[in-house]
Chains A and B, each alone.
Chain A
Amino acid sequence: MNNKGAKGSDTLRRITGHHLFLPIVFLAVVLLANVIKTPDFFEVSYSNGILYGYVVDVVNRASELVILAIGMTFVTAASGGQDISVGAVMAVSAAVCCQILSGGEVSITAFQNPLLLAVAAALLVSMLCGAFNGLLVARLNIQPMVATLILFTAGRGIAQLITRGQITYIRVEEYKLYGSYIPGCPIPTPIFFAAGTVILVMLVLKFTALGLYVESVGINSSAARIVGLNATRIKFITYVICGLLAGLAGFVASSRIYSADANNIGLNLEMDAILAVALGGNLLSGGKFSLMGSVIGAYTIQALTTTLYAMMISSDQLPVYKAIVVILIVVLQSPVFQQKFRDLRAKLRQNTAASRKEGAAS
């Protein structure tokens, strides 16, 4: 055959074989659906010093999810399980932050305590939540989902207790900045948080060997031990990181609504985060991971959510579609299914070959 064709198919294979190929295709499909539904989807306008548009909105609203998805990616890669408490940890973090700022009042117009102190405390408590999960998973060898189920249910209760069952409002402009706009900057602040987190984690991965350690432990913890890795400690660290990031996401979410609403902050986000990881081409059973994949996955989910909203689906009903997508992805990832699919294809090929032979004979 001709060389050119072979070369072309080679390039094609290199593109389709890239680990980010599928995540980008998913994103493209969802964006396409958005454009069809709302033709002005990609239009961005500028007025009053602020950028407006559907795309800006999607990118803005995806910020917390991006932050969560990063933590979830680590946990998934190292322990082969997911942390389903992230949404609840967000609520806890928001509650701690707002409660310190308000000094116990229900609604305030001026900080009662320094913002830095409140944020630091919120992140610390989130890390403790992560450490609790990590202890159960890495040290006591409890399945990740059971271990994190405890905070999944208790977390919002704890958040309610912290805010004494009320919704604490922080009506201070300085607090609202982090969830809206910094004066003079046309881009929503949460986007900076998301981008900052991605860059920071990328730097951590570049300047430490954490990524390789996490993958090694996730792929073969027995071999990891032989080459001198402490699998327990590494798993534990990933849960602490996941807790910390959930706390950060909680802070951003609470700043958006300048309050701590224990019932609604981070609601159903655990599912979105898991979905983002899976859509990013990461195996939910652990091992090699792609951070960029998860980030793309997170934006895909947010775009999907926007599409579904555009189709007049209420936020309560969204989980139905997301659950179906999750099941489809895990079924496609399942080795048993892949084997069955291969067998079926082989059988079909055999059948066609047989029928062709029959045809030739008759």
Chain B
Amino acid sequence: MEENIVLTMRGITKLFPGVKALQNVDFTLRKGEIHALMGENGAGKSTLIKVLTGVYAMDRGEVCLDGGEPAMIRSPQEALRRGISTVYQEINLCPNLTVAENLFIDREPRKRGLIDWKEMYRRSGELLERLEVAVEPTRQLGDCSIAIQQMIAIARAVDMRCKVLILDEPTSSLDDDEVEKLFELMRRLKEQGVGIIFVTHFLEQVYAVCDRITVLRNGELVGEFLTAELPRLQLVAKMLGKDFDDLAQIKSMKETERDSRQQAPLLEAQGLYCQGRVKPFNLCCYPGEVVGFTGLLGSGRSELVRTLYGADRPDGGTLKLRGKPVKIDTPLQAMMHGMAYLPEDRKRDGIFADLSVRENIIIALQTKKGIFHPMGRREMENFADKYIGLLQIKTAGRETSIKSLSGGNQQKVIIGRWLLTNPEFLILDEPTRGIDIGTKTEIQKLMLQLSEQGMSIAFISSEIEEMLRTCSRMIVMRDHEKVGELTGGDLSQEKIMHTIAGGGSDNEQ
């Protein structure tokens, strides 16, 4: 066994009802290295982190610290005590306290039983100076920039003598300068012998700072690689689950290449943007086509469609539907113009857990009709039964509450909800995430059928293969910006990956 190993995880398996979130995953972290943990949605990164920090109990496997005996980590507090600190994208500090307090809360220096503020400020000053974080210890945390807050969280972890530092997407809300500052801090910590696990979606950042990369996919380990030996394109391929050699064999399942662009566009966006979420973009969608939005998680693909739908109020730009300019600031306006949107986070934005399948299906049509035109009981039941049959929703009955259904069936209910409103433009954000293969295929087929009937569909998925099978055009996003649009012959996994990976590909536009 190597001597400088600080953490080994072996055969980690974690089951959730109906899903294997992690299956026999190994992970090794050495002293003084920055180790990237990569993978798309549902790959199991966050589950692995949560197992390591004691948020979840694993079903099988073992975790060893410092090459010692297997350790049991049952709670985040215990993880902290054992030297495993985590800094999340969502900063877990108190904005109403000062910087120094956030560093020292619950272990404040005391004199005669009372907190010695002077000493606390002095020690905070020293610590921040050592890590070269430029901030006054007396400052209110909420007044600091997100980057500084992030660094303070790291400083807190460092001062608590952590051996393993987990950075879970710390850079998502930072700008380039701030990211660079963070990297400098990470490199300094690395020199001090801290092992850092870095979870991120930004490829550039991985290549800028990491020594090693572990890739997960669908809860399984793909492999551990030295950054220097793994070209960018290969990394994307490994994350998205296609071996590079297989790329040539992919054949589109689309039966005919319909050139829908002959028709007038259904939707035209000009310079539409939403501050801090998606940079100005132009977009055209035609009736009868499936447009894919791709890019890694956090690239702004979901934010783009949310802006179209008015779920995030656009800050500027124009939108035309069937050639007529429209103003869409709220979801209801979008619905009235024939749009429908299946949100990414089913639990948070999709289902009404305590309502029945029937009510969950008819709610969108009901709001479209308005409060004074309630649907009759019989009418609702007919609609519910129709979509339960059409989409083959497995439920005990239409009056069963939706929370007792499986994820895939819940998703079908929400698809049914939107089909019932008879939309012309249907947005599906990750409709197939976390659901079984059978349902996935059904949903893909359904999309093709609907587009054949003339519906325009915007489709987002983390699985490129799935998108290639269904989309006639792909919009590629990177860093909250639309960076490319691929059609026809360009629609290949290789091209898409090149565009996602960026840098080096010169035919982006």
A positions within 8 Å CB-CB of B:
206-210, 212-213, 215-216, 219-220, 222-230, 287-288
Q: Which residue of A lies closest to B362 (CB)?
A: A212
Q: A-side binding surface: helix, strand, loop or mixed?
A: helix
Question: Across the two chains, which residue of chain A brings its CB closest to B343?
Answer: A226
Please determine whether A223 and B350 come into contact, CB atoms closer than 8 angstroms: yes
Q: What A residues does B261 contact at CB under 8 A? A: none
Q: B374's contact among A209, A216, A220, A224, by CB below 8 Å, is which?
A: A209
Stretch of B130-138, B211-219, B365-373 that contacts chain A: B365-373
CA distance A223 to B373 in the complex (A): 21
Could you tell me if B367 and A228 are in contact, using CB atoms closer than 8 angstroms? yes
Q: What's the Cα separation between A219 and B311 when bound, in Å?
A: 19
Residue of A nearest to B341 (CB): A226
| CB within 8 Å for A209 and B351 given contacts A227-B417, A228-B330 | no
* Assembly CA distance A225 to B349 (angstroms): 8
- 1/0 per position for B341-374, CB-CB distance to A under 8 A? 1010000111111110001000110111111111
**Minimum C-beta distance from A2 to chain B (A):** 24
Is B355 a contact partner of A216 (Cβ separation < 8 A)?
A: yes
Q: Which residues of A contact B147 (CB under 8 A)?
A: none
- Knowing A219-B353, A287-B354, A288-B354, the reply to whether A225 touches B331 (Cβ < 8 A) is yes
B residues bordering A, Cβ < 8 Å?
311, 330-332, 335, 341, 343, 348-355, 359, 363-364, 366-375, 417
Q: List 14 A-B contacts (CB under 8 A).
A: A208-B371, A209-B371, A209-B374, A212-B359, A215-B355, A216-B363, A222-B348, A223-B343, A226-B331, A227-B363, A227-B367, A228-B330, A229-B367, A230-B330
Query: Which of A212, A220, A225 contacts B353, CB < 8 Å?
Result: A220
The 9 nearest A-B residue pairs measured at CB? A228-B332, A228-B367, A209-B374, A227-B364, A219-B352, A228-B335, A228-B331, A209-B371, A288-B354
Contacts between chains A and B (CB distance < 8 A), count: 74
Taking each of A212, A224, A225, A228, which has the highest tally of chain B beta carbons within 10 Å of its own beta carbon? A228
Provide the bound-state CA to CA distance between A222 and B348, in Å.
7
Closest CB of chain B to A288's CB: distance in Å?
5
Chain B, Cβ-Cβ closest to A286: B354
Residue of A nearest to B356 (CB): A288
Beta-carbon contact of B366 and A209 below 8 Å: yes
Q: How far is B373's CA from A235's CA once the two chains are assembled, in angstroms?
A: 20
Give the residue name and chain of the A residue nearest to B311 (CB): A226
B371 — which chain A residues lie within 8 A by C-beta?
A: 208-210, 213
By a CB distance below 8 angstroms, the chain A residues around B354 are: 215, 219, 287-288
A165 to chain B, nearest CB (A): 43
A206-B374, A208-B372, A288-B354 as given contacts; A226 in contact with B349, CB under 8 Å: yes
CB distance from A117 to the nearest CB of B (A): 29
Beyond A206-B374, A216-B355, 6 additional contacts (C-beta under 8 Å) are: A209-B372, A213-B371, A223-B348, A227-B367, A227-B417, A228-B367
CA distance A230 to B355 in the complex (A): 18
> Does B311 contact A228, Cβ atoms closer than 8 Å?
no
B352 touches A226 (CB 8 A): no
Q: Quote the shortest CB–CB distance from B396 to chain A (angstroms).
A: 13
Chain B neighbourhood of A220, CB < 8 A: 348, 351-353
Closest to B350 in A: A223
Which residue on A lies nearest to B376, using beta carbons?
A: A206
> Chain A residues with Cβ under 8 A from B417's Cβ?
227
Q: Give every chain A residue within 8 A of B331 (Cβ-Cβ).
A: 225-228
Note all chain B residues with C-beta closer than 8 A to A210: 371
Give complex CA distance A121, B349 in Å: 42
Minimum C-beta distance from A237 to chain B (A): 9
Q: Give complex CA distance A228, B328 in Å.
A: 12
Considering residues A220, A222, A227, which has the most beta carbons from chain B within 10 angstroms of its beta carbon? A227
Is the beta-carbon distance between B352 and A223 smaller than 8 angstroms? yes
| CA gap between A209 and B351 in the complex, in Å | 18
* Shortest CB distance A139–B (Å): 16
